[in-house]
Amino acid sequence: MPKPLVIVESPAKARTLTRFLGDRYRVEASYGHVRDLPESAADVPKEIKGKSWGRLGVDTDGDFTPYYVVPTDKKKYIQLLKTAMKDASEVILATDPDREGESISWHLKQVLKPKVPVRRIVFHEITEEAITAALGEPRVDVDENLVRAQESRRILDRLYGYTLSPVLWKKVQTGLSAGRVQSVAVRLIVEREEERMAFRTASFWDLEAKIRAEDREFTATLVRLGDQRIASGKDFNAQAQLVGKGVRVLDQAQTHALADALSRNLPWTVTSVEEKPFTQRPAPPFTTSTLQQDGNRKFGFSAERTMQVAQRLFQGVDLGGGDIEGLISYHRTDSTTLSDKALREAGEAVTQMYSADFYKGPRQYQTKVRNAQEAHEAIRPTDFRRTPQSLERVLEGDELRIYDLIWKRAIASQMADARMLRTSVEITGTGSDRQTAVLTASGKAIEFSGYLRAYVEGSDDPAAELDEKETLLPKLTAGEKVYPPDNLEARLVVAGVDEKSHQTTPPPRFTEASLVKRLEEEGIGRPSTYAPTVATIQRRGYVTRQGKAMVPSFTAFAVTRLLREHFGDYVDVGFTAEMEEILDRISNGEKDWLDFMREFYRGDGKHHGLEHLVEDKGQEIAYPVIHVCDDPDTGLPVRVRIGRYGPFLQIGDTAQEGPRASVPADLAPAELTCEKALALLKAKADGPRELGDHPTTGEKIYVMLGRFGPYVQLGETPTDKKADKPRRASLGRDFSEDTIALDEALKLLSLPRDLGPAQDGEPIVANIGRFGPYVKKGDDFRSLAPEDDVYTVTLERAQEIMAQEKKSIRRQRSAAKELRALGAHPDSGAPVRILDGRYGPYVTDGETNASLPKGMAPNAVTMEEAKAMLEARAGSSKGPRRKVAKKAPPKRAAKKSKARAAAGA
């Protein structure tokens, strides 16, 4: 008997809906987008291959008609859906409630061409109640305005990338890419680094007095001397110039004299005590952006990782006994509002868990984001009674941490304000030259914790953090005296006066959290684009990470400077935000998409379009260089250029003149000072520093500087590139190229050490690897104990280590540390994970393992990239497959994967 066919994006979502709907409906997955613009020349449809715009997949000569293709890996899913549709009474499109979801529904309708009725349903949480309500209120068709807005974005991004990227290939480096949001994000990071490069440090001093009152000690800071305020960091600009008015800058000698005078001129007097009550409001519930920011701040998660976890929590979690349900509302949203139902349930939960004192009625928050989609809700639990503690046996790892964050933030948003009391104290003494010195101290006490009982930003344990939110001062009254420390009868005594040196600091580099916040504040991108943008700029080498800080590469500098100089509007924050506003107007039916495309690409009479701008610029676009300084000896410029193998320094105006030197890969642009650049060039010109001769072979030993840092080398570098390379060893963190001695170099070059044969005749080797010193026999490794020295460990000791730790090491291997869970494989449904293995991070689906390419960060890998790596590994003919399961795959499947790999080659 025919029954409705419900189509969703993912298998996980399909499984959850199947449990709710039972056998009354058939639920199938589309596995994401089913059509897109052609990605490669091979994908371009035959009817447009000969067109000048064929590679774009967009008719730029006509009305910007897009030509969509079904990717090869999606054809089987389309066929499955067509088969399922034959027995369907109607088709219900149940994709996500945003532009992307609306677009997928539209493409499904175009590709499947159903002859039965089609309905569209939307829901913001995957619960039985929400699904039932959505089925009761279906739409008769997809929202054409939303579809057109998403299609306009896709076409816009294609025109932007395919027009500007070739300019970067010609003028900077092959393989680079430009993107509408990506390039602006890179510009923000580069300009922050430029600010750091231009920054000059200012130094200043002040005093801190430790004052003891009974059993409590507090700190008072010098703020005024006579009628002048003591300088602080905010009184200096980025060029170290004093900009504050009526300010006194103390040096070390003056500070010392002042500290001595204050210590001698006791007692001091408490001249003012002021108490002011204030309230602190809770933050609104999470949006996509603020969830990504807190995930990064609290757990160090990338934006992409946080969103993948949220996706799993939204799509459905097995709560046991076959009960599968979504735990959070839709996670791609820029709204901070909650539905009436959610407000009511949150209020009940607050009253039950914390008492009625903590609930003062529902709180609704005004969304501050430009062009927010208020039809969506903020991210919240689907059931507020489901506390994080109640799910500890169901959720683990990342899922529990992110759910805990969402639950606490949503609950706290409906709780009462925290009431606090701020105390400000002023203490006066006499300094040098009999000037009045004023010191101040401040404290904060919590009178009513309110929402802080549930959620403290940046804290895992709100209850424990409440104490740290307080800075308690002893009870003080005006007129009290502060005496020397030897006055045993005094209530207030000076425990010490410390002279403090300070320096101004450059503006901090962006973290993922602060970058996402800035993009959102400027109206650049949308909730669905933040995580992919941040991941893309890292994956393409524009940005590297130092801890949480995002450091731009020299390539990012070159690209940004070229685009900023010649295509300024297209990487301008205001212009990009304006484009987002226009796209939002298209989604609301207020702007014609075709008019916008014509203006953007062809111009509008007042402004050049992108097409003509690139044509007009032509040869005037110069190779972008990064000026460091002028050589003090020759007066010629010292510059960084981007070469085939990375950035290099050069003296001179053209690519042909002057000496060159590679820039170390870990050297940030702001850290490349003139002195450092000249030192690198001098070291390259002088050649490697000779440390001495090897005592056995007589070969010279040199210390050299390469792209990946300093190293020592035994013997000369051969001129014949096919000849064997000389032995080399990295200096690592233990040695410096300026101070390393011959004996230390000999120790480094002695590795790997051949300790001799084991009892079975196989040699045992000692060496230092990625995870520290180890011994190895064949393919079997053992880490050395802390008391063992890799340079002196004996064969006998190595054999003991190999024998004693054999079982435990095997257990460790079988439980490789999980770095990330990417989710279900789009084809097989198997969980795809990134693990930290013996030889570095690798991706696995439980059947095939594939190592991550060198330099690819685990937190930047997408599911599409992981899938491609697994397919390439499975189809490799270079050697046996590295399997986790013992059972061999069917021969037919193996042949198919080899054919696929060959076709890809």
* Backbone phi, psi, residue 548, to 5°: -90, -15
CB proximity list for 315: less than 8 A, separation 6 or greater: 10, 12, 13, 16, 126, 326
Distance CA 806, CA 568 (A): 61
CB proximity list for 432: less than 8 A, separation 6 or greater: 254, 257, 258, 260, 261
Distance CA 454, CA 290 (A): 17
Distance CA 315, CA 203 (A): 54
Q: Which residues pair with 261 in a beta bridge?
A: none
Check whether the bond before 388 is cis (ω within 30° of 0). no
Distance CA 535, CA 861 (A): 8
At 312, list the tokens: 């799993």
129, 764, 772, 793, 800 from 785: Cα distances, Å: 58, 16, 10, 11, 11
Residue showing tokens 């930290």: 836
Options 330, 403, 601, 842, the catalytic residue: 330
Distance CA 335, CA 248 (A): 47
Distance CA 572, CA 4 (A): 49
3-state secondary structure of 300: coil
Per-residue 3-state assignment (H helix, E strand, C coil) for 302-345: CHHHHHHHHHHHHHCEECCCCCEECCEECCCCCCCCCCHHHHHH
- How far does the chain reach from its first CA to its final CA, in angstroms? 46
Per-residue 3-state assignment (H helix, E strand, C coil) for 541-555: CCEEEECCEEEECHH
DSSP state of 240: S
At 878, list the tokens: 């270079």
CB proximity list for 490: less than 8 A, separation 6 or greater: 481, 482, 483
Beta strand 317-318 with 324-325 is: antiparallel
DSSP state of 524: -
At 732, list the tokens: 């690592």
443, 574, 591 from 601: Cα distances, Å: 59, 18, 16
DSSP state of 495: E
Residue showing tokens 């111009």: 603
Query: CA angle, 548 as apex, 543 and 552 as ends, to 5°?
Result: 20
CA 812 to chain centroid, in Å, comes to: 29
Supply the angle between the helices 554-566 and 144-171 in degrees, to the nearest 10. 110
Q: Which residues pair with 277 in a beta bridge?
A: 421
Q: Across 795-858, where does the E strand assignment appear?
A: 817-824, 831-837, 840-844, 849-851
Q: Which helix (H) or strand (E) holds 756?
A: strand 753-757
As a whole number of angstroms, the longest Cα–Cα distance in the chain is 101
154, 187, 308 from 147: Cα distances, Å: 11, 30, 24
At 519, list the tokens: 């993009």
Amino acid at 422: R
365 classed as catalytic: no
Buried b (16+ CB within 10 A) or exposed e, 494-533: beebebeeeebebeebbbbbbbbbbbbebbbbbbbbbbbb
Handedness of CA 606, 611, 615, 617 (dihedral sign): positive
Query: Where in the sequence numbering do the catalytic residues fall?
Result: 330
